[in-house]
Amino acid sequence: MRASTLELVRNAQDHGYAVPAFNIVDEVSLRALIEAAEAADSPVIIQVSLKTARSIGVDLVGAMFDSAIRGTSVKAALHLDHCPDLAWITKVIDARWSSVLFDASDRDFDRAVAETAQVVRAAHAVGVEVETEIENIVGVEDGVGSDVLVHSYSPESLVQAAEDCGADLLAPQLGTAHGEYSGRPSLLPGRVREIRALTDKPVVLHGGTGLTQAEFRLLIAAGVSKINISTDLKRTYMRAAHKFLIDAAERDEWDPPSMFRSVSGAVRAMATHYFDLFGSAGQASGSTRA
Ligand code: 13P
Protein backbone atom coordinates (compact mmCIF):
# COMPACT_ATOMS: atom_id res chain seq x y z
CA MET A 1 0.00 0.00 0.00
CA ARG A 2 1.22 3.52 -0.78
CA ALA A 3 2.13 5.13 2.56
CA SER A 4 1.16 8.64 3.59
CA THR A 5 4.12 11.00 3.21
CA LEU A 6 2.81 13.09 6.10
CA GLU A 7 2.51 10.08 8.39
CA LEU A 8 6.10 8.97 7.66
CA VAL A 9 7.47 12.46 8.16
CA ARG A 10 5.43 13.18 11.31
CA ASN A 11 6.79 10.02 12.87
CA ALA A 12 10.29 11.25 12.06
CA GLN A 13 9.45 14.65 13.56
CA ASP A 14 8.16 13.01 16.74
CA HIS A 15 11.24 10.80 17.10
CA GLY A 16 14.02 13.18 16.06
CA TYR A 17 15.13 11.68 12.76
CA ALA A 18 14.55 12.49 9.05
CA VAL A 19 13.08 10.42 6.23
CA PRO A 20 15.23 10.43 3.08
CA ALA A 21 13.35 11.32 -0.10
CA PHE A 22 15.24 10.08 -3.16
CA ASN A 23 14.53 11.13 -6.73
CA ILE A 24 14.34 7.95 -8.82
CA VAL A 25 15.24 7.94 -12.50
CA ASP A 26 13.87 4.55 -13.54
CA GLU A 27 12.74 1.11 -12.37
CA VAL A 28 16.29 0.02 -11.44
CA SER A 29 16.77 2.91 -9.01
CA LEU A 30 13.22 2.51 -7.66
CA ARG A 31 13.68 -1.20 -6.86
CA ALA A 32 17.13 -0.61 -5.37
CA LEU A 33 15.71 1.96 -2.94
CA ILE A 34 12.81 -0.28 -1.90
CA GLU A 35 15.20 -3.21 -1.32
CA ALA A 36 17.58 -1.03 0.70
CA ALA A 37 14.70 0.39 2.77
CA GLU A 38 13.42 -3.10 3.53
CA ALA A 39 16.87 -4.34 4.54
CA ALA A 40 17.39 -1.28 6.81
CA ASP A 41 13.81 -1.31 8.16
CA SER A 42 13.61 2.36 7.13
CA PRO A 43 10.70 4.39 5.84
CA VAL A 44 11.47 5.93 2.44
CA ILE A 45 9.95 8.54 0.16
CA ILE A 46 10.24 7.78 -3.54
CA GLN A 47 10.30 11.11 -5.35
CA VAL A 48 9.84 11.71 -9.03
CA SER A 49 10.83 14.91 -10.79
CA LEU A 50 8.44 16.38 -13.31
CA LYS A 51 10.98 15.56 -16.04
CA THR A 52 11.00 11.87 -15.04
CA ALA A 53 7.20 11.79 -14.64
CA ARG A 54 6.89 13.24 -18.14
CA SER A 55 9.34 10.77 -19.65
CA ILE A 56 8.03 7.58 -17.97
CA GLY A 57 4.36 8.59 -17.60
CA VAL A 58 2.29 9.04 -14.44
CA ASP A 59 0.46 5.70 -14.75
CA LEU A 60 3.58 3.66 -15.43
CA VAL A 61 5.43 5.26 -12.48
CA GLY A 62 2.46 4.38 -10.24
CA ALA A 63 2.35 0.80 -11.54
CA MET A 64 6.12 0.36 -11.09
CA PHE A 65 5.90 1.71 -7.55
CA ASP A 66 2.99 -0.56 -6.59
CA SER A 67 4.75 -3.56 -8.09
CA ALA A 68 8.04 -2.75 -6.31
CA ILE A 69 6.43 -2.54 -2.85
CA ARG A 70 4.02 -5.50 -3.29
CA GLY A 71 4.94 -8.38 -0.99
CA THR A 72 7.39 -6.24 1.02
CA SER A 73 6.96 -4.71 4.47
CA VAL A 74 8.41 -1.37 3.33
CA LYS A 75 6.71 1.88 4.36
CA ALA A 76 7.17 3.87 1.17
CA ALA A 77 5.39 6.97 -0.12
CA LEU A 78 5.26 8.13 -3.75
CA HIS A 79 5.82 11.88 -4.15
CA LEU A 80 5.93 14.27 -7.11
CA ASP A 81 8.87 16.66 -6.66
CA HIS A 82 8.91 20.37 -7.75
CA CYS A 83 5.94 20.83 -10.03
CA PRO A 84 4.94 24.35 -11.03
CA ASP A 85 2.52 23.05 -13.68
CA LEU A 86 -1.12 22.84 -12.54
CA ALA A 87 -2.12 20.43 -15.33
CA TRP A 88 0.57 17.92 -14.26
CA ILE A 89 -0.26 18.34 -10.57
CA THR A 90 -3.87 17.48 -11.44
CA LYS A 91 -2.79 14.34 -13.34
CA VAL A 92 -0.76 13.13 -10.37
CA ILE A 93 -3.53 13.93 -7.87
CA ASP A 94 -5.97 12.00 -10.09
CA ALA A 95 -3.52 9.06 -10.04
CA ARG A 96 -3.55 9.20 -6.20
CA TRP A 97 0.18 9.43 -5.54
CA SER A 98 0.85 9.94 -1.83
CA SER A 99 1.80 13.61 -2.19
CA VAL A 100 2.86 16.42 -4.52
CA LEU A 101 5.17 19.43 -4.19
CA PHE A 102 3.38 22.36 -5.77
CA ASP A 103 6.30 24.66 -6.56
CA ALA A 104 4.79 28.14 -6.72
CA SER A 105 8.10 29.91 -6.09
CA ASP A 106 7.99 31.58 -9.51
CA ARG A 107 4.68 33.34 -8.61
CA ASP A 108 4.27 36.44 -6.43
CA PHE A 109 3.09 35.86 -2.86
CA ASP A 110 -0.67 36.33 -3.30
CA ARG A 111 -0.88 34.22 -6.44
CA ALA A 112 1.34 31.51 -4.93
CA VAL A 113 -0.91 31.24 -1.86
CA ALA A 114 -4.15 31.29 -3.88
CA GLU A 115 -2.97 28.61 -6.32
CA THR A 116 -1.52 26.44 -3.54
CA ALA A 117 -4.89 26.61 -1.74
CA GLN A 118 -6.57 25.45 -4.95
CA VAL A 119 -4.11 22.51 -5.26
CA VAL A 120 -4.60 21.58 -1.59
CA ARG A 121 -8.40 21.50 -1.99
CA ALA A 122 -8.20 19.18 -5.00
CA ALA A 123 -5.52 16.99 -3.39
CA HIS A 124 -7.16 16.64 0.01
CA ALA A 125 -10.49 15.76 -1.60
CA VAL A 126 -8.89 12.47 -2.72
CA GLY A 127 -6.44 11.90 0.15
CA VAL A 128 -3.28 13.28 -1.50
CA GLU A 129 -0.97 15.46 0.62
CA VAL A 130 0.76 18.69 -0.45
CA GLU A 131 4.24 20.11 0.17
CA THR A 132 4.38 23.85 -0.38
CA GLU A 133 7.27 25.94 -1.71
CA ILE A 134 6.65 29.64 -2.27
CA GLU A 135 10.20 30.98 -1.85
CA ASN A 136 12.62 29.43 -4.27
CA ILE A 137 15.40 27.08 -3.27
CA VAL A 138 18.37 27.99 -5.41
CA GLY A 139 19.53 25.74 -8.24
CA VAL A 140 17.97 24.16 -11.31
CA GLU A 141 16.86 20.52 -10.87
CA ASP A 142 15.71 18.57 -13.91
CA GLY A 143 14.83 21.79 -15.70
CA VAL A 144 12.84 23.38 -12.83
CA GLY A 145 14.09 26.30 -10.69
CA SER A 146 16.45 29.26 -10.80
CA ASP A 147 20.07 29.95 -9.85
CA VAL A 148 19.14 33.21 -8.11
CA LEU A 149 16.86 33.93 -5.16
CA VAL A 150 13.62 35.28 -6.60
CA HIS A 151 11.35 35.32 -3.54
CA SER A 152 12.18 35.27 0.20
CA TYR A 153 9.74 35.83 3.07
CA SER A 154 9.83 35.99 6.85
CA PRO A 155 9.23 32.73 8.77
CA GLU A 156 5.95 34.27 10.02
CA SER A 157 4.71 34.93 6.45
CA LEU A 158 5.78 31.47 5.28
CA VAL A 159 3.97 29.74 8.13
CA GLN A 160 0.88 31.96 7.75
CA ALA A 161 0.79 31.13 4.03
CA ALA A 162 1.08 27.39 4.71
CA GLU A 163 -1.68 27.60 7.35
CA ASP A 164 -3.92 29.69 5.06
CA CYS A 165 -3.64 27.31 2.13
CA GLY A 166 -3.78 24.16 4.29
CA ALA A 167 -0.57 22.59 2.95
CA ASP A 168 0.80 19.60 4.85
CA LEU A 169 4.59 20.07 4.59
CA LEU A 170 6.68 23.20 4.26
CA ALA A 171 9.83 23.64 2.11
CA PRO A 172 11.61 26.89 3.07
CA GLN A 173 15.00 28.29 2.07
CA LEU A 174 17.54 26.86 4.52
CA GLY A 175 20.75 27.97 2.83
CA THR A 176 21.00 24.85 0.66
CA ALA A 177 20.94 24.59 -3.13
CA HIS A 178 20.05 21.90 -5.64
CA GLY A 179 22.97 20.21 -7.41
CA GLU A 180 26.69 20.21 -6.53
CA TYR A 181 28.07 22.88 -4.14
CA SER A 182 31.00 24.95 -5.39
CA GLY A 183 31.69 26.43 -1.89
CA ARG A 184 30.35 25.65 1.57
CA PRO A 185 26.71 26.71 2.00
CA SER A 186 25.64 29.03 4.85
CA LEU A 187 23.04 26.85 6.49
CA LEU A 188 20.11 28.25 8.46
CA PRO A 189 19.29 25.87 11.34
CA GLY A 190 17.97 28.88 13.30
CA ARG A 191 15.36 29.39 10.60
CA VAL A 192 14.21 25.77 11.00
CA ARG A 193 13.81 26.33 14.75
CA GLU A 194 11.89 29.59 14.19
CA ILE A 195 9.49 27.87 11.77
CA ARG A 196 9.06 24.85 14.04
CA ALA A 197 8.23 27.16 16.96
CA LEU A 198 5.42 28.67 14.86
CA THR A 199 3.91 25.52 13.35
CA ASP A 200 3.60 21.75 13.69
CA LYS A 201 3.88 21.35 9.89
CA PRO A 202 6.96 19.28 9.03
CA VAL A 203 9.91 21.15 7.50
CA VAL A 204 11.56 19.75 4.35
CA LEU A 205 15.23 20.20 3.45
CA HIS A 206 16.00 20.44 -0.27
CA GLY A 207 19.46 20.25 -1.82
CA GLY A 208 20.76 17.43 0.39
CA THR A 209 23.60 16.27 -1.86
CA GLY A 210 27.00 17.49 -0.71
CA LEU A 211 26.20 18.37 2.91
CA THR A 212 28.53 16.91 5.52
CA GLN A 213 27.43 14.46 8.21
CA ALA A 214 27.72 17.24 10.81
CA GLU A 215 25.58 19.58 8.67
CA PHE A 216 22.85 16.96 8.25
CA ARG A 217 22.87 16.30 12.01
CA LEU A 218 22.66 20.01 12.78
CA LEU A 219 19.61 20.46 10.54
CA ILE A 220 17.86 17.32 11.81
CA ALA A 221 18.46 18.43 15.41
CA ALA A 222 16.96 21.81 14.48
CA GLY A 223 13.77 20.05 13.31
CA VAL A 224 14.03 19.04 9.64
CA SER A 225 12.20 15.73 9.07
CA LYS A 226 12.29 15.09 5.28
CA ILE A 227 15.55 15.42 3.35
CA ASN A 228 15.70 15.39 -0.45
CA ILE A 229 18.52 13.67 -2.29
CA SER A 230 18.67 13.72 -6.08
CA THR A 231 22.12 14.60 -7.44
CA ASP A 232 23.87 11.91 -5.38
CA LEU A 233 21.57 9.22 -6.76
CA LYS A 234 22.18 10.34 -10.36
CA ARG A 235 25.93 10.53 -9.76
CA THR A 236 26.02 7.11 -8.03
CA TYR A 237 23.93 5.55 -10.78
CA MET A 238 25.95 6.96 -13.68
CA ARG A 239 29.35 6.26 -12.11
CA ALA A 240 28.41 2.62 -11.49
CA ALA A 241 27.14 2.31 -15.08
CA HIS A 242 30.26 4.02 -16.42
CA LYS A 243 32.60 1.72 -14.48
CA PHE A 244 30.62 -1.32 -15.60
CA LEU A 245 30.75 -0.25 -19.25
CA ILE A 246 34.52 0.31 -19.15
CA ASP A 247 34.94 -3.24 -17.78
CA ALA A 248 32.43 -4.60 -20.31
CA ALA A 249 34.40 -3.03 -23.16
CA GLU A 250 37.65 -4.57 -21.84
CA ARG A 251 36.03 -8.01 -21.60
CA ASP A 252 33.93 -7.47 -24.74
CA GLU A 253 30.89 -8.80 -22.85
CA TRP A 254 27.61 -6.93 -23.30
CA ASP A 255 24.96 -8.08 -20.84
CA PRO A 256 22.55 -5.29 -19.77
CA PRO A 257 21.03 -7.17 -16.76
CA SER A 258 24.55 -7.45 -15.27
CA MET A 259 24.91 -3.69 -15.57
CA PHE A 260 21.52 -3.15 -13.87
CA ARG A 261 22.68 -5.41 -11.00
CA SER A 262 25.84 -3.39 -10.62
CA VAL A 263 23.95 -0.06 -10.66
CA SER A 264 21.39 -1.42 -8.21
CA GLY A 265 24.12 -2.46 -5.76
CA ALA A 266 25.65 1.03 -5.84
CA VAL A 267 22.27 2.75 -5.32
CA ARG A 268 21.44 0.39 -2.43
CA ALA A 269 24.74 1.21 -0.73
CA MET A 270 24.11 4.95 -1.16
CA ALA A 271 20.60 4.67 0.30
CA THR A 272 21.81 2.59 3.26
CA HIS A 273 24.36 5.31 4.07
CA TYR A 274 21.59 7.95 4.28
CA PHE A 275 19.23 5.70 6.31
CA ASP A 276 21.99 5.36 8.91
CA LEU A 277 23.00 9.02 8.77
CA PHE A 278 19.45 10.43 9.05
CA GLY A 279 18.51 7.99 11.85
CA SER A 280 15.64 6.43 9.85
CA ALA A 281 17.15 2.90 9.88
CA GLY A 282 15.16 0.64 12.19
CA GLN A 283 12.23 3.08 12.38
CA ALA A 284 9.79 1.59 9.83
CA SER A 285 8.32 -1.08 12.11
CA GLY A 286 7.26 1.51 14.65
CA SER A 287 6.19 4.24 12.23
CA THR A 288 2.86 5.31 13.63
CA ARG A 289 2.49 8.62 15.41
CA ALA A 290 3.42 8.57 19.09
P1 13P B 1 20.10 17.58 -4.58
O2 13P B 1 20.02 17.33 -6.06
O3 13P B 1 21.03 18.68 -4.24
O4 13P B 1 20.34 16.33 -3.81
O5 13P B 1 18.65 18.14 -4.13
C6 13P B 1 17.55 17.30 -4.23
C7 13P B 1 16.28 18.03 -4.04
O8 13P B 1 16.15 18.93 -3.24
C9 13P B 1 15.13 17.57 -4.84
O10 13P B 1 14.00 18.36 -4.64
CA of 178 from ligand 1 middle (Å) equals: 5
Average pLDDT over residues 183-196: 96
Spatial distance between the Cα atoms of 12 and 92, rounded to a whole number of angstroms: 25
Q: Is 81 a catalytic site residue?
A: yes
| pLDDT of 289 higher than 50 | no
Range of lowest pLDDT (46-50, 76-80, 231-235, 284-288): 284-288
Whether residue 141 contacts residue 82, with contact meaning beta carbons closer than 8 Å, is answered with yes
| pLDDT of 266 higher than 70 | yes
Of 136, 173, 209, the one to substitute when testing ligand 1's pocket (max ligand atoms within 8 A of C-beta) is 209
Whether residue 221 contacts residue 192, with contact meaning beta carbons closer than 8 Å, is answered with no
As for ligand 1, residues whose beta carbon falls within 6 Å of it are 23, 81-82, 141, 178-179, 206-209, 228-232
Sign of torsion, CA 210 188 24 43?
positive
Sign of torsion, CA 276 9 102 56?
positive
Ligand 1 atom closest to 81 (CA): 10
Of 50, 231, 236, 238, the one to substitute when testing ligand 1's pocket (max ligand atoms within 8 A of C-beta) is 231
Residue 218 CA to its chain's centroid (Å): 19
Question: pTM for this one?
Answer: 0.96
| pLDDT of 288 higher than 80 | no
- What tens digit of pLDDT does each residue of 151-183 get? 889 999 999 999 999 999 999 999 999 898 988
147 band by pLDDT with thresholds 50, 70 and 90:
confident
Spatial distance between the Cα atoms of 160 and 15, rounded to a whole number of angstroms: 25
Q: What is the pLDDT of residue 119?
A: 98
User: What percent of the chain stands above pLDDT 90?
Assistant: 90
Whether residue 207 contacts residue 176, with contact meaning beta carbons closer than 8 Å, is answered with yes
Residue that wins the pLDDT comparison between 138 and 217: 217
Of 138, 230, 235, 236, the one to substitute when testing ligand 1's pocket (max ligand atoms within 8 A of C-beta) is 230
Ligand 1 atom closest to 176 (CA): 3
- What tens digit of pLDDT does each residue of 20-46 get? 999 999 999 999 999 999 999 999 999
287 band by pLDDT with thresholds 50, 70 and 90:
low
- What tens digit of pLDDT does each residue of 239-262 get? 999 999 999 999 999 999 999 999
Q: Average per-residue pLDDT in the chain? A: 95
Of 14, 26, 41, 81, the active-site residue reads 81
Residue that wins the pLDDT comparison between 151 and 188: 188
Ligand 1, atom 1, lies closest to the CA of 207
Whether residue 43 contacts residue 11, with contact meaning beta carbons closer than 8 Å, is answered with yes
